[in-house]
Structure 1
Amino acid sequence: MNIARVGILLDRRIEEQRLKYGLNVFERYIGEVLSHVGIPFEWLDNVHHMMERFYDLIIVAAAPNDEVTSQSIWAYAERGGIVVSYAGINPLAKRLGYMKSVPLPTGYAELPESLGDTRPLRFLGAVPWVQPQKHAEGGDWGPGVRETKGSHHGSMEWGSIACEPKGMKIGPVLQQFQVGSGSIERWGVDLLGTIVGLQQGTAPVFDDGVPAPDGSAPVDEGLWKADDRVELDWTHDRVLTEQGTPYFAHPYADLWREAIVSHILRRMAQKGRILPFVDYWPEGITKIAMLSHDSDRNWDEDAIATLEILAEHRIHSTWCMMKPGYSAWVYPRIKEAGHELALHFNSNVNEGGSWTEGDFKRQAKWLQDNVVQKAVTNKNHMTLVEGWGELFQWCEASGIESDQTRGPSKKGNAGFLFGTCHPYFPIAWSDERNRMYNVLEVGFLTQDLPQFTDTGVIVPFLEQVSDVRGVAHFLFHQGRIQRFPEVREAFRQVVKEARERGFTFWTGSQINEWERARRAIRIIGVSEDDSVILATADHAAQAVFWRPLRENEQACPEDIVEMKFGITCKRMSRSKSK
């Protein structure tokens, strides 16, 4: 059986035009979103390719705003295709009976339960389509579902977009227009720009960020860090623990990813097409937790204390080592215990470091010569970061495959401050043509509990990570484990709560190895017995495959069925490779 064909239109002409003027094409990030879920897709670099081979669904990531493009999109939909856009295809608004509203730089959208999480989701750009009469009346747009009629065959509208969580609703978050035997489906939110902006910021780091008004996160201390470019709101996006400590509670980027994937899977199931995907984690594992440590003061007794508590709980963790490191006799003990040794790059000028590629290479070479021959992971000391992609460039050049720098540096910004707990590959700025960096980012949620923030965050963090099936990454410095009984007790509490909820502890290198192996799996079809056909058997032995049940399809008693992305999905077996 053939699987559904999904295409992504990223028109080469419009891409070159925008890059010429230094504009980003973050729409390219839709490829990362689908790759992370293992959904098969094909790139189209010209609008004319839409009609050359039949695709069940085409995501119009970036396309010219001209009549030829509009006619091609319309013709593709008329013959049965589904067009999806994220705040684009604006020339078609008038033909569909709508008008483009004033763009919103930030705000919150509400989704109906059928499309994803129903809490207000922060966005970093929206261009809603509104009906001219309603726009003129200035009426409020509630989050319900509506049917309307126009020059096409009718439409459905879901959700709402507002300037702030309780602000006036300006327009729908998703619109579906029936055109011929197909449809044009437009999200009013710039979902890809939002995901990238939340994860990486909306601008390079070249000065201090805005501190929290309550004094809980003084990021304006003159040291440039990852959290100087956090795009969340200090008021709307934080909640309080029982002890009154604020933290960022919402993985907005992950929730937007889920909305994208849920919409695509749901539409293919409704169309009766099979669209398989790869589970986030391997056979027998449903949730991942991670512990990492930064050596900082490099006292040998810190290492011994950390080894003891890890052995007590039978956990392997990631040790980020900063020059000059521990005594030589300590490293064999760390390795023999099964832990990962990694780099802790120090660019702090007050400690003899510098934000230069040369210093990064020198520290990476020190690690290779004295600690571990091949380092997979890095985390920057004090989460220091400058610019946009320099860190990822340096990691690539030094053979480091994963980074953990993106996390909180202050008590008041613990949690999902970058909107995600998932491993992801970051995207470059326009000066590098918005390429994807070959460095897997695995951010962390908080540092040394209960000193950094109180232990009231443990359960909410674990439960939210569990809901989106990301990585619950907690950082504990070896020096604080050794010195403070309350940190050791918090460590034990994290482990206890995580294990009670079914989490498996992995190191950063294990996460990196699995994520890369999983993405190398390519689904090319489905056999008559409903098993997936793969291009190669490499890395697939531990993988788990799913597909949504098609509309009106009933699962057999022997089928394994679970809810994935809000849709009932059936587990698939693996067929022989081709």
Structure 2
Amino acid sequence: MNMVRLGILQDDSAAQRRRSYGLNCWGSYMAEILSHAGIPYEWVQVTSTKSLAVYDMLIETYLDEEVQPYDEVIWQYVAGGGRLISFGGLNKWARRLGCLRSPYLGAGYANVGLSNAQRGEDELLRFIGANPWTVVNADSLTEVSGSIMSYTPDGKEAGDLFLQFTIGEGTIERWAVDVSKTVVSLQQGEEPILGDGVPAADGTGNVDEGILKADDGCTLDWEYDRQSTETGGKYFAKPYGDLWREAVISRLIGSALAMGKTLPFVDIWPDGIDQVLTISHDSDGNLDTQAVAALELLKELGVRSTWCMLEPGYSDEVYRLIKEEGHELAFHYNALDSQRSEHALAGKTWNEPEFDRQLQLLKRSAKLSSVVTNKNHYTRFEGWGELFEWCEKHGIELDQTRGPSKPGNVGFAFGTCHPYFPIAWSQDQNRFYNVLELGFLTQDMDLKGWADSSIITPFLDEVASVRGVAHFLVHQLHIEAQPLVRDSFRQVISEALKRGFVTMTSAEINAWERKRRLAVIQGFGDDGELIIKGAIPEAVICVPFTPANSQVPNDSIVKRYGYDCYKKVGVGMVSV
């Protein structure tokens, strides 16, 4: 089979015009969605039909609705056989395609309803931002799928999720939902955190306690996005961002196959791994006895973990034991003004000099030349990207701060259980920060006032369904003092092993994700071998196929994004 040549279509002048008014261009986040999925793509500037024609599929990110001289260029690209994909855009073409533009929806729920989406047609996904169309007289319309509901799952139906049009020899695929904006908003919020968030009416999520935190920017709904465990514990049940990614990638693969081509990708994990468990600890209390208790339990369970160290940390001997057991020593930045150290710098604790002072203290006391991971104490967070900027500047490659601070918002409060690169605000050109974010699902279970262990199975099953990372935070002080916390920790490990989870530290996840992204699929050789730039031996390459166009040994077939794929590891690949 031939490989689809996929491009992300951009118009820099249109993006800059938008940013000049302080508006964001989240469309470019589609690049992160594709990169995490291991899908090869190219950035494409709008220029001429000739230059666009070399691409089989183009994803439109942001084209100026008013000042756009390239309408006919793009239309002719489609008419000539290209496939143009848009997520909430192309609104100026609505009438041309026989549709009317409907009012913008800030939030709602979508029935994905795409025939190749692997999770079924009835699951509703929350979205943040949609531009639905109403079909009036669309002679070119060839497919209608899914639907979107206004604001609530049982709200008024506001239109179709997916419309496909045939123009000449080519195709326009239009999603009503702005998927890039949805994923960014779920993961990072809709705006900088400058004040408290909205609390849960039932008292389980009092995020309005006067401390700015990551979950003050949560965009999920307390009523509609939570479920209850068998004991009545409430939790955010679905990784909506991951599910939107899957729906998009599933559709891309299906579109490629419909064109008689394929869309190979670098799989998420090394060969033999389907999902990952990671454990982190925060050293609140900083007593050596707490650390020793945690080390003993980890040794009993055969688990290596990530230790986020709060000032002032442990003794030299405990640091030595942690390193000898193969655990990762990480940073636990404390920006709580109420817990200011006597050594803290003047002013508020949320600032870069204080971040650096605490980090340098950890390096000196634990004898570390570098620190890979950080998690902020109490999930403190302000603004939009300041934390990520500090991490970049001071060598932190992965942050864990985006997790629940209250018992009622445990789970997938930020829409994902995968590591991802966050995106900057408009004044920083919506660039990508060179810091991976990997949130956590819950803090200590079966601790009074926190979630109980009935959430373990739902969490693990949901993470496994999207092949993500199940990240549990357990404090050393509770491991020492609370037998029920120790037992719930044992249960996490036991249930994870039953489901085939493999344990990694945050540093190991970071190293793999960055290394994997260096492998870029460039195409097929004359003999059908895959040509890969930066190939790595552990990487799995998945090549989607249909029974009509490929004969593949059954032991080499894996199911990804709803499609059978030929799995290749090393053999039949050429590195360039």
- 2:38–2:265 Cα contact (<8 Å) kept: yes
**Counterpart mapping for 1:241-280 below 5 A:** 241-280=229-268
1:361 aligns with 2:356: yes
Tell me, in whole angstroms, the C-alpha distance in 2 between the residues paired with 1:324 and 1:51. 59
Aligned to 2:59, the other structure's residue is in SS state strand
Residue identity matched to 2:252: I
Tell me which of 182, 207, 211 is aligned to 2:199.
Answer: 211
**Counterpart mapping for 1:485-524 below 5 A:** 485-524=483-522
Tell me, in whole angstroms, the C-alpha distance in 2 between the residues paired with 1:499 and 1:446. 19
1:169 aligns with 2:150: no
Q: Say if 1:324 and 1:174 are closer, same or farther in 2 by CA, change over 3 A.
A: same
Aligned to 2:4, the other structure's residue is in SS state coil
Tell me, in whole angstroms, the C-alpha distance in 2 between the residues paired with 1:529 and 1:236. 52
How far the C-alpha of 1:552 sits from its partner, in A, is: 2.4
- 2:263–2:544 Cα contact (<8 Å) kept: yes
Tell me, in whole angstroms, the C-alpha distance in 2 between the residues paired with 1:515 and 1:346. 27
**Counterpart mapping for 1:67-78 below 5 A:** 68-78=69-79
Tell me, in whole angstroms, the C-alpha distance in 2 between the residues paired with 1:361 and 1:328. 21
C-alpha distance after superposition, 1:3-54 (max 9, x if no partner): 2100101111111101111111111100000000111100013253774441
Q: Quote the residue 1:144 is aligned against.
A: none
How far the C-alpha of 1:536 sits from its partner, in A, is: 2.8
Tell me, in whole angstroms, the C-alpha distance in 2 between the residues paired with 1:113 and 1:499. 33
- 1:345–1:363 Cα contact (<8 Å) kept: yes
Unaligned runs of 5+ in 1: 133-148
How far the C-alpha of 1:113 sits from its partner, in A, is: 5.2
How far the C-alpha of 1:2 sits from its partner, in A, is: 5.0
Q: Quote the residue 1:577 is aligned against.
A: 575
- 2:116–2:254 Cα contact (<8 Å) kept: no
Tell me, in whole angstroms, the C-alpha distance in 2 between the residues paired with 1:158 and 1:429. 33
Q: Quote the residue 2:19 is aligned against.
A: 19
C-alpha distance after superposition, 1:267-288 (max 9, x if no partner): 0011111221011000121110
Q: Quote the residue 2:93 is aligned against.
A: 92
Q: Quote the residue 2:30 is aligned against.
A: 30
- 2:424–2:430 Cα contact (<8 Å) kept: yes
Range 113-122 or range 239-248, more displaced: 113-122
- 1:44–1:50 Cα contact (<8 Å) kept: no
Unaligned runs of 5+ in 2: none
Q: Quote the residue 1:298 is aligned against.
A: 286
- 1:481–1:488 Cα contact (<8 Å) kept: yes
How far the C-alpha of 1:491 sits from its partner, in A, is: 0.3
C-alpha distance after superposition, 1:517-575 (max 9, x if no partner): 000111111234433211234xx110000011047224333561121011121113442
Tell me, in whole angstroms, the C-alpha distance in 2 between the residues paired with 1:557 and 1:262. 23
Q: Quote the residue 2:57 is aligned against.
A: 57
Q: Say if 1:50 and 1:162 are closer, same or farther in 2 by CA, change over 3 A.
A: farther
Tell me, in whole angstroms, the C-alpha distance in 1 between the residues paired with 2:215 and 2:550. 48
Q: Quote the residue 2:338 is aligned against.
A: 350
Q: Quote the residue 1:139 is aligned against.
A: none
Q: Say if 1:47 and 1:239 are closer, same or farther in 2 by CA, change over 3 A.
A: farther
Q: Quote the residue 2:124 is aligned against.
A: 120
Tell me which of 439, 442, 447 is aligned to 2:438.
Answer: 442
Tell me, in whole angstroms, the C-alpha distance in 2 between the residues paired with 1:90 and 1:340. 50
Q: Quote the residue 2:407 is aligned against.
A: 411
Tell me, in whole angstroms, the C-alpha distance in 2 between the residues paired with 1:357 and 1:438. 17
Tell me, in whole angstroms, the C-alpha distance in 1 between the residues paired with 2:42 and 2:85. 15
Q: Quote the residue 2:531 is aligned against.
A: 533
1:336 aligns with 2:332: no
Residue identity matched to 1:361: D
Aligned to 1:329, the other structure's residue is in SS state helix
- 2:373–2:506 Cα contact (<8 Å) kept: yes
Q: Quote the residue 1:195 is aligned against.
A: 183
- 1:279–1:543 Cα contact (<8 Å) kept: yes
Tell me, in whole angstroms, the C-alpha distance in 2 between the residues paired with 1:431 and 1:204. 13
Residue identity matched to 2:330: A
Tell me, in whole angstroms, the C-alpha distance in 2 between the residues paired with 1:557 and 1:365. 54
Q: Say if 1:196 and 1:47 are closer, same or farther in 2 by CA, change over 3 A.
A: farther
Q: Say if 1:465 and 1:558 are closer, same or farther in 2 by CA, change over 3 A.
A: closer
Residue identity matched to 1:363: Q
Q: Quote the residue 1:158 is aligned against.
A: 145
- 2:523–2:531 Cα contact (<8 Å) kept: yes
1:381 aligns with 2:377: yes
- 2:46–2:70 Cα contact (<8 Å) kept: no
Tell me, in whole angstroms, the C-alpha distance in 1 between the residues paired with 2:547 and 2:500. 32
- 1:209–1:229 Cα contact (<8 Å) kept: yes
How far the C-alpha of 1:166 sits from its partner, in A, is: 1.2
How far the C-alpha of 1:167 sits from its partner, in A, is: 1.7
1:223 aligns with 2:211: yes
Q: Quote the residue 1:136 is aligned against.
A: none
Range 184-193 or range 543-552, more displaced: 543-552
Tell me, in whole angstroms, the C-alpha distance in 2 between the residues paired with 1:359 and 1:50. 54
Residue identity matched to 2:291: A
Tell me, in whole angstroms, the C-alpha distance in 1 between the residues paired with 2:95 and 2:310. 59
Q: Quote the residue 1:103 is aligned against.
A: 104
1:567 aligns with 2:563: yes
Range 491-500 or range 15-24, more displaced: 15-24
Q: Say if 1:52 and 1:45 are closer, same or farther in 2 by CA, change over 3 A.
A: closer
Q: Quote the residue 1:7 is aligned against.
A: 7
Tell me which of 538, 542, 545 is aligned to 2:538.
Answer: 542
Tell me, in whole angstroms, the C-alpha distance in 2 between the residues paired with 1:232 and 1:131. 30
Residue identity matched to 2:28: R
Tell me, in whole angstroms, the C-alpha distance in 2 between the residues paired with 1:570 and 1:172. 33
C-alpha distance after superposition, 1:40-95 (max 9, x if no partner): 10001325377444101000111122564332222111111100000001111101
Tell me, in whole angstroms, the C-alpha distance in 2 between the residues paired with 1:564 and 1:485. 40
Q: Say if 1:49 and 1:536 are closer, same or farther in 2 by CA, change over 3 A.
A: farther
How far the C-alpha of 1:450 sits from its partner, in A, is: 1.4
Tell me, in whole angstroms, the C-alpha distance in 1 between the residues paired with 2:551 and 2:224. 42
- 1:278–1:545 Cα contact (<8 Å) kept: yes
Percent of pairs with identical residues: 48
Tell me, in whole angstroms, the C-alpha distance in 2 between the residues paired with 1:111 and 1:157. 11
Residue identity matched to 2:90: I
How far the C-alpha of 1:115 sits from its partner, in A, is: 4.1
Tell me which of 176, 184, 196 is aligned to 2:172.
Answer: 184
Tell me which of 299, 303, 308 is aligned to 2:296.
Answer: 308
Residue identity matched to 1:418: F
Residue identity matched to 2:101: K
- 2:49–2:76 Cα contact (<8 Å) kept: no
Tell me, in whole angstroms, the C-alpha distance in 1 between the residues paired with 2:537 and 2:561. 24
1:129 aligns with 2:129: no
Tell me, in whole angstroms, the C-alpha distance in 2 between the residues paired with 1:474 and 1:510. 16
How far the C-alpha of 1:151 sits from its partner, in A, is: 4.2
- 2:49–2:73 Cα contact (<8 Å) kept: no
